[in-house]
Structure 1
Amino acid sequence: MEYFELFEIPVQLEVDKKTLRAKYLELSRKYHPDYFANASAPEQQEALDATAGLNKAFKTLGNREDTIRYVLQQKGLLVDDEKYALSPDFLMEMLEINEAIAEAGMDADGAGKAAVAQQLKNWEHEIYEPVAQIVASYHDGVTTEKELLQVKEYFYRKKYLERLKHQLDGIS
């Protein structure tokens, strides 16, 4: 089942967490396997499957990046294992940050790591700013494919930054 349909909310890129949680609790009670303890084996399996699907949908819609990925996939604009080409300018900037991470690993006082962490935080803000309005005001069928492709570019840039953050976090 489609996640937004399951939660009876409109398709959106930024889901209201309070509404999502309330609907999740309601659906959890409805599909909880304990309520099917005396049911047939197929009905019990259905309840388990429904609960697993509900949990997956809740986790996806509860995270902005996962929601963006999900909507882009639903629209056919994002494919698993896609070889997306980021702009050379962005990649050059990331190369510089990669070098700074390597240098921070040799920095005994940790000041370099803090500086790189701040750089990454600044980049996150910089890449989100151009799509913030699209994400906040997304309307299924109204938001254009061109706007969704901008969100896709953001998505892949954000993924790149996340890899760099994990690399930085690995430095002792």
Structure 2
Amino acid sequence: MNYFELFSFTPTYQIDTALLAERYRELQRAVHPDKFANASEQDKRIAVQRTAQVNDGFSTLKDPILRAEHMLSLNGIDLKHESTTVKDTLFLMQQMEWRESLEDISDSSDPDTAISDLHESFSDYAKQIAEELSGLLSSTNEAELIQAADLIRKLKFMAKLQIELERIEDALFE
């Protein structure tokens, strides 16, 4: 299913999340199973299915990584069940540095600054990737879409690092 069509959006990486939320509420009101309480069993089932589609679409489009994966899937590239890893050695080296920095936080004399610096570093890198990704995802050129897939893989790594940083932060300040 094309979630962009469901929510009446042009398929682009950058979307108006406030408008997405507004359209989500509109769609929910239109298809919510409670509206079909007196309908036939088939209509009730359809309403439940449509509600699930709306919920899935909203979750997909509001998350930048899932949105990017969805855009690729609309172009025939499925990343959801793949095991391909990032081959960019510079990125892998940067990731190793970040992991070392994560490990060093608990021994740091100033963990607040170390955490803040990593948050900033992750954010800056993710923004850089997102900007590049935005242009690539609007393409129909296979080589550019493959480049976009590599960037999405990097964003997934970044998301895992961010989760790890938040876990460390929570553990330090409990």
Residue 146 of structure 1: how far off its partner (Å): 2.3
Q: Quote the residue 1:96 is aligned against.
A: 97
Residue 153 of structure 2 aligns with which residue? Answer: 156
Per mean C-alpha deviation after superposition, the further-off stretch among 40-49 and 20-29 is 20-29
Supply the distance in 2 between the matched residues of 1:168 and 1:12 (Cα, whole angstroms). 30
In 2, Cα distance between the equivalents of 1:91 and 1:121? 17
**Could you tell me the TM-score, scaled by structure 1's length?**
0.83
- Give the superposition deviation at 1:109: 3.0
Residues 5 and 130 (structure 1), Cα distance of their counterparts in 2 relative to 1, 3 Å cut:
closer
Structure 1: which amino acid aligns with 2:122? L
- Give the drift of 1:5: 2.6
Offset at residue 85 of structure 1 (A): 2.9
In the TM superposition, residue 89 of structure 1 has moved relative to its aligned partner by 1.8
Structure 2 counterpart of 1:164, one-letter code: L
Partner of 1:33: 33
2:26 maps to a residue whose letter is: E
Per-residue CA deviations over 1:20-55 (Å, capped at 9, x if unaligned) read 334333322221212111112222121111111111
Distance 1:166 1:152, change over 3 A: same
Is the 2:119–2:162 contact (alpha carbons within 8 Å) kept by the matching residues of 1?
Answer: yes
Q: Which amino acid aligns with 1:128?
A: A
2:7–2:24 contact (8 Å) kept in structure 1? yes
Cα distance in 1 for partners of 2:98, 2:116 equals 12
- What amino acid does structure 2 have at the position aligned with 1:167? E
Which aligned pairs between 1:121-140 and structure 2 lie closer than 5 A? 121-135=123-137, 138=138
**How many angstroms apart in 1 are the aligned matches of 2:78 and 2:60?**
15
Give the letter aligned to residue 105 of structure 2. Answer: A
Q: Which amino acid aligns with 1:77?
A: I
CA contact (8 A) 1:105 1:113 kept: no
Q: What is the alpha-carbon distance in structure 1 between the residues aligned to residue 10 and residue 94 of structure 2?
A: 37
Structure 2 CA distance for aligned equivalents of residues 156 and 146 of structure 1: 16
Q: Does 1:82 align with 2:79?
A: no
Select between 162-171 and 19-28 the one with higher mean Cα deviation.
Answer: 19-28
* CA displacement at 1:124 relative to structure 2: 1.7
Which of structure 1's runs of 4+ aligned residues deviate more than 4 A? none
Cα shift at 1:128: 3.0
Q: Name the amino acid aligned to 1:32.
A: H
| 1:101 Cα offset (Å) | 0.7
Deviation at 1:114, TM superposition (A): 2.2
Contact 2:75-2:140 within 8 A present in 1 as well: no
**Unaligned 5+ runs, structure 1:** none
Q: Is the 8 A contact 1:13 1:64 kept in 2?
A: yes
Mapped partners of 2:78, 2:41: distance in 1: 37
Structure 2's unaligned 5+ residue stretches are: none
